[in-house]
A and B are shown apart, each in its own frame.
Chain A
Amino acid sequence: GAGVSQSPRYKVAKRGQDVALRCDPISGHVSLFWYQQALGQGPEFLTYFQNEAQLDKSGLPSDRFFAERPEGSVSTLKIQRTQQEDSAVYLCASSLGGTGLNEQFFGPGTRLTVL
């Protein structure tokens, strides 16, 4: 595709529901990142994949958050038992190289609202 795509663009969940957010990176990009952006703040790192390997998940706020990229392309961020504090925009980014020095291309984000 032409860029990074994310779906859904908007998600409303009731507290306690599980949600799954999808990211389609640019074809051939090795690295994939997930960020969480709360209202009025900058993005905060959640996790990083190089191909199918999750190399860093230090930013995941709790064990309710889980990310996978089983075939090294599409990635899913899953949030179990959503809480109101999970409301944010979730951004996905991909980059061509594996060192992190390459430019990251960001998707438009998924806005999650937990009621």
Chain B
Amino acid sequence: AQSVTQPDIHITVSEGASLELRCNYSYGATPYLFWYVQSPGQGLQLLLKYFSGDTLVQGIKGFEAEFKRSQSSFNLRKPSVHWSDAAEYFCAVGAGTNAGKSTFGDGTTLTVKP
């Protein structure tokens, strides 16, 4: 069965600092990987996704993520965090043509200090 681990429950960074949120997955074949952001009272919004090809994917709001098969990781990065990035971030893995049935991690809450 597929699974996702987000080791960091809560991360605090200063505005303007760089950010990396960790995601490790378990899946037997090539995974379909996603990062979502959830702000209070808002629905989940897709930041970026990886299906195949270039292992470094660019997303919205200046985020990027790198797929590393050898480490079973798909970490999310941003070079300079803005106060508006404070939110909860979820990594998810989907399986093949049924990728809609995604398995989510438990999320990482990001706090941004002024």
Can you list, as one digit per residue, whether each of A22-50 has a CB less than 8 Å from chain B (1) or not (0)? 00000000010101000011111100100
**With an 8 A cutoff between CB atoms, is B66 at the interface?**
no
**With an 8 A cutoff between CB atoms, is A72 at the interface?**
no
Q: Once the chains bind, are A42 and B90 in contact (CB under 8 Å)?
A: yes
Q: Once the chains bind, are A106 and B97 in contact (CB under 8 Å)?
A: no
Which of B100, B105, B106, B107 interacts with A33 by CB under 8 Å? B100
Min distance, Cβ A60 to any Cβ of chain B, angstroms: 13
Chain B residue numbers with a CB within 8 Å of A59 are 101
Chain B residue with Cβ nearest A109: B43
Q: Once the chains bind, are B98 and A100 in contact (CB under 8 Å)?
A: yes
**With an 8 A cutoff between CB atoms, is A103 at the interface?**
yes
Can you list, as one digit per residue, whether each of B25-51 has a CB less than 8 Å from chain A (1) or not (0)? 000000010001000011111100101
Q: Once the chains bind, are B43 and A41 in contact (CB under 8 Å)?
A: no
Can you list, as one digit per residue, whether each of A76-115 has a CB less than 8 Å from chain B (1) or not (0)? 0000000000000001010100011101111111000000
Chain A residue numbers with a CB within 8 Å of B45 are 106
**With an 8 A cutoff between CB atoms, is A21 at the interface?**
no
Chain A residue numbers with a CB within 8 Å of B51 are 101
Q: Classify chain A: how many residues form its interface, as a range.
A: 20 to 34
Which of A42, A56, A107, A109 interacts with B101 by CB under 8 Å? A56
Chain B residue with Cβ nearest A45: B101
Chain A residue with Cβ nearest B105: A42
State the CA gap A41–B108 with chains docked (Å).
10
B residues near A, CB below 8 A?
Answer: 4, 32, 36, 41-46, 49, 51, 90, 92, 94, 97-107
What are 15 A-to-B residue pairs whose CB atoms are below 8 Å?
A3-B43, A42-B104, A45-B102, A48-B98, A48-B100, A59-B101, A91-B44, A93-B44, A100-B97, A100-B98, A100-B99, A101-B100, A103-B49, A106-B43, A106-B45
- Known pairs A43-B44, A58-B101, A101-B97; list 12 more (Cβ under 8 Å): A42-B90, A91-B43, A95-B100, A99-B100, A100-B98, A100-B100, A101-B94, A103-B49, A105-B43, A108-B41, A108-B42, A109-B43
